[in-house]
Structure 1
Amino acid sequence: MNYAIGIDIGGTKTAIGLVDSEGNVKDKLSLPTDQSVSPSEMVDRMASAVRQLADQAGLSIESLTGIGIGAPGPLNTKLGQISEPPNLRGWWGFPVVEAVKRHFDLPVFFENDATAAALAEKWIGAARNSQHFIYITISTGIGAGIYSHGRLITGASGNAGDVGHFVVAPEAGQCVCGQEGCWEFVASGTAIARQASELLGRPVSTKEAIDLAVSGDHPEMTALIERIFKYIGVGCVTLINTQDPEMLVLGGGVSQVGEPLFNAVKDYVSRYALNPTGRETRIVPAALSQDAGLIGAAALVHVSY
């Protein structure tokens, strides 16, 4: 059995896993993404964690097939750099691939985290039988991985799928990117919590907002969540009209709402996708949840893309 390391770098935590060539996570651990230290120091900690996982599994570093890294964009896969992700400001311009290679004489693969998760869903998840699909993660932000004609579509610098910055509601206010009314500004988990907190005049989590809406006991919250589900539908229709996928795979924390979200999005798509076949696009939940990021990162090593 061949093993690869998957590293999923996030704004608050970094997941690291030892993943075999069938997509099974043999062992894993999580490190806080400590932004009070330099990125180089964080990579040192990641390297120690990789060695710990290999030792626990009785494997030598040299026996590993490679290391895959998924990270939030914008990034530059040609240069191996994390460019300007809003939630990793201390990492801007950091050459992460070069830093990892200082520790290990192994192949290192690097892609946007949503792109990597899309590859994982193709490998062992909900899109195994699809040649044209888009994986959409709706969580802290919104991002996508695009798989078409049997391969990942990554773009010139690895940033294809940065769909959270489609403008869907210009009247809604200014996104961190500077545009007005971006998709993730109005429909991400962060957006839900922000708008619900403004509505109730107290801190409200995404989960609480959705629970209040689904209960039916708070009409204003129900109206808010219905509007957000509509915005999610708007973004999905835009992707269907642009990319003509046969399937959308929805992942991320907000997708855990389940049936209310999926029913609303399917209804919107069935009415507003331009092409008749687009209106019938399958919309399914991601099969991989907690480990999607690190499995996706390891998939960059194990799977041809």
Structure 2
Amino acid sequence: MSTVSASTLTTCAPRRYVVADLGGTTLRIGRITEGTDRVERVRRMATEGLDRHRGLSAQELQDRVIEQLTLELEAYLAAPGGAGASAVGVSFAGPMTRDGTVLAGPTLWGGPAAPLPITDILSRRLDVPVVVTNDITAAAWRYASAEPEPFCLITISSGIGHKVFRNGEVLTSDSGHGGEIGHWRVDPREDAVLCECGGRGHLGAIASGRGVLTAARRAAAADSGGFTRSALAGPAHGSPDGITNEDLARAVRADDAFATRVLRECLLPLAMAVNCVFTAIGVRRYLFIGGFAVAVGPRFITLLGDELTRLGCFGLSEEEIRAMLALGAADDDHCLLGMARMLAGTLPATAGSGGSA
């Protein structure tokens, strides 16, 4: 978690927060009133990063992303929906230090770029307190009050990330290490699938939404007969490159054999990751969020449970193994709501709403 920039505001309750979720695909900005669970006046736009501009260097993409974020927050705070905000909270899709320096942005700008002091940059540009934290850290705060036992939150979206929440805190180091299981190398082969961070064989390159989509397109090209018979062929107009994540999730929900086989193969290393966390530290609650997991729905948990029970978890029965897995809320407000709860618990009690919206 980052530090809060110094600013003093007039005490007034309830406080209003402007919150942003900067992901590899989408940037969302909204407003939340303290004590509520409703995100208001949401603005959504494509992130000006790797997903849109793959020909640019990592540093050029980083510059584009931070400039987009800053300009969009400035515009939102100046508009009626953001006027009078007590603070800004940003959840960021990548590892960062406790003082608010981004170390990497694999789904945002790909390979290595300069460390990004994002909290300092935003604090200089925005006339309100600023808190920036990793996106899964923010999302974990949404579930903390409802989960009495330690839990592991895993997102399956453009990439894969996780955080373990225990005794009121997220378990990461001050230097930003931890919570990046998507970059655990599960395939050691030299020609393993390439991750957007530049490494090979990483869990996120295989089991994320983007990873499963890549696997489905490759499987369709290699098995034209199976693809032609599947529910994916029609929407894709018979072209493997025409397969989309939406079509893939829909086909898995309908128990399409081809799509289900692809997903099962991708879920095996994810099951191995869950097994590793359980075996290492004993956490028995795993919540899954992220666009792809939510789109597949309960069947995602069923298929993952199949793979995890095949592996086995030391000391647990099949029923106990399956009971560890659950979907989070079926929306994409995890980071925004969690960020607001983090702000409420981080800002000084004297910081309040500066005016009406």
Q: Normalised by the size of structure 2, how large is the TM-score?
A: 0.73
Alignment match, 2:207: 187
RMSD: 2.7
Aligned residues of 1:81 and 1:97 also touching (Cα < 8 A): yes
Q: Which moved more, 1:245-254 or 1:80-89?
A: 80-89
Residue 73 (1) aligns with residue 86 (2): no
- Counterpart selection for 1:226 from 257, 264, 282: 264
- Residue 44 of structure 2 aligns with an amino acid whose one-letter code is S
| SS of equivalent residue, structure 1 residue 94 | coil
**Displacement, 1:86?**
2.1
Aligned residues of 2:107 and 2:196 also touching (Cα < 8 A): no
Q: Which moved more, 1:258-267 or 1:277-286?
A: 277-286
Q: Which aligned pairs between 1:1-305 and structure 2 lie closer than 5 A?
A: 1-22=14-35, 23-35=37-49, 38=64, 39-40=66-67, 42-52=69-79, 55-56=80-81, 59-61=83-85, 64=86, 66-78=87-99, 80-89=100-109, 92-123=114-145, 128-171=146-189, 172-201=192-221, 202-203=240-241, 204-213=243-252, 215=254, 219-256=257-294, 257-270=296-309, 272-276=312-316, 279=321, 282-287=324-329, 289-303=331-345
Question: Any idea what the Cα deviations from partners look like across 1:36-56, whole Å, max 9, x if unmatched?
Answer: 76423540232111232xx23
Q: Which moved more, 1:277-286 or 1:244-253?
A: 277-286
| SS of equivalent residue, structure 1 residue 18 | strand
Aligned residues of 1:209 and 1:221 also touching (Cα < 8 A): yes
| SS of equivalent residue, structure 2 residue 162 | strand
**Equivalent-residue separation in structure 1 for 2:176 and 2:77 (angstroms):** 25
The 1:224/1:49 distance shift into structure 2, 3 A limit, reads same
**Equivalent-residue separation in structure 2 for 1:87 and 1:100 (angstroms):** 21
**Equivalent-residue separation in structure 1 for 2:67 and 2:346 (angstroms):** 29
**Displacement, 1:160?**
2.0
**Displacement, 1:280?**
6.4
- Residue 31 of structure 1 aligns with an amino acid whose one-letter code is M
The 1:275/1:168 distance shift into structure 2, 3 A limit, reads farther
**Displacement, 1:216?**
5.2
Q: Which moved more, 1:230-239 or 1:188-197?
A: 230-239
Q: Which moved more, 1:107-116 or 1:278-287?
A: 278-287
**Displacement, 1:304?**
5.3
| SS of equivalent residue, structure 2 residue 31 | strand
Aligned residues of 2:252 and 2:299 also touching (Cα < 8 A): no
- Residue 287 of structure 1 aligns with an amino acid whose one-letter code is A
Q: Which moved more, 1:68-77 or 1:219-228?
A: 219-228
**Displacement, 1:220?**
4.3
**Equivalent-residue separation in structure 2 for 1:200 and 1:265 (angstroms):** 22
The 1:89/1:181 distance shift into structure 2, 3 A limit, reads closer
- Residue 332 of structure 2 aligns with an amino acid whose one-letter code is Q
Q: Which moved more, 1:130-139 or 1:162-171?
A: 162-171
**Displacement, 1:169?**
3.1
Aligned residues of 1:21 and 1:302 also touching (Cα < 8 A): yes
**Equivalent-residue separation in structure 1 for 2:300 and 2:247 (angstroms):** 15
**Equivalent-residue separation in structure 1 for 2:159 and 2:202 (angstroms):** 10
The 1:268/1:31 distance shift into structure 2, 3 A limit, reads closer
Larger radius of gyration: 2
**Displacement, 1:215?**
4.4
Q: What runs of 5+ residues in structure 2 fail to find an aligned partner?
A: 1-13, 50-60, 222-239, 348-357
Aligned residues of 2:264 and 2:304 also touching (Cα < 8 A): no
- Residue 83 of structure 1 aligns with an amino acid whose one-letter code is L
**Displacement, 1:213?**
4.7
The 1:50/1:77 distance shift into structure 2, 3 A limit, reads farther
**Equivalent-residue separation in structure 2 for 1:153 and 1:8 (angstroms):** 21
The 1:210/1:45 distance shift into structure 2, 3 A limit, reads closer
Q: Identity of paired residues, percent?
A: 22
Q: Which moved more, 1:183-192 or 1:226-235?
A: 226-235
Q: Which moved more, 1:290-299 or 1:190-199?
A: 290-299
Aligned residues of 1:73 and 1:85 also touching (Cα < 8 A): yes
